[in-house]
Chains A and B, each alone.
Chain A
Amino acid sequence: EAGVVQSPRYKIIEKKQPVAFWCNPISGHNTLYWYRQNLGQGPELLIRYENEEAVDDSQLPKDRFSAERLKGVDSTLKIQPAELGDSAVYLCASSLESSGQETQYFGPGTRLLVL
């Protein structure tokens, strides 16, 4: 069974440019998460979806970040415009449900460098 798929794996852009990341969760997983991992830090949750509904976006910087999960499967995370401080690894994870005992499975991440 395929794991969580993310693309692109790497992205280099200039500041003020837009960028988008795509995630395809494990088949049948209802819950999808986007995390940001800064260098030398652990992942921090940006947004959590249950099916197509964003149920926790309290940590998403809404002035420049947006996300969507159409049809409750794939998801896209967008930054517009990007700032130097957005350089990080963006991780997508999925789980069957959002209960405490469900394991989150992580994709390989998208490494973003903003110049």
Chain B
Amino acid sequence: AQSVTQPDIHITVSEGASLELRCNYSYGATPYLFWYVQSPGQGLQLLLKYFSGDTLVQGIKGFEAEFKRSQSSFNLRKPSVHWSDAAEYFCAVAKYNNNDMRFGAGTRLTVKP
């Protein structure tokens, strides 16, 4: 079965600094990959997704992610972090038919003023 590892439990960055959140997946075939964000007391909101094609994916709120098959990675990036980006970020991998989406344990982002 597919699985996801997010190596960083908690990351702190200064406002305006760049951000990279790591995600490694395990899946035998071409994966469907997602990044979700969860603010306190809120549900998960989709930031971006990758199915095929261009390996650099643009999402909402200025986020992007790059799929690297050779490294089994799908890292999330943002060039300049805003205080409102403080939240929990989840990477997920799914099969083609989406009936078994597996989430990582999440990375909590703290933004320093």
Are B98 and A95 within 8 A (Cβ)?
A: yes
Are A44 and B103 within 8 A (Cβ)?
A: yes
Are A104 and B98 within 8 A (Cβ)?
A: yes
Are B97 and A100 within 8 A (Cβ)?
A: yes
Mark out the residues of chain A between 66 and 115 whose CB falls within 8 Å of any chain B CB in the assembled complex: 91, 93, 95, 98-109
Are A109 and B98 within 8 A (Cβ)?
A: no
Are B45 and A99 within 8 A (Cβ)?
A: no
Chain A residues with CB under 8 A of B90? 42-43
The distance in angstroms between the C-alpha atoms of A11 and B49, with both chains bound, is: 33
The distance in angstroms between the C-alpha atoms of A95 and B98, with both chains bound, is: 10
Known: A42-B90, A42-B104, A42-B105. A99 touches B96 (CB 8 A): yes
Chain A residues with CB under 8 A of B43? 3-4, 91, 93, 106-109
Are B98 and A108 within 8 A (Cβ)?
A: no
Chain B nearest CB: distance from A28 CB in Å? 17
- Additional pairs, 8, CB under 8 Å, beyond known A93-B43, A102-B98: A40-B9, A42-B4, A43-B103, A48-B99, A56-B99, A91-B43, A98-B98, A106-B45
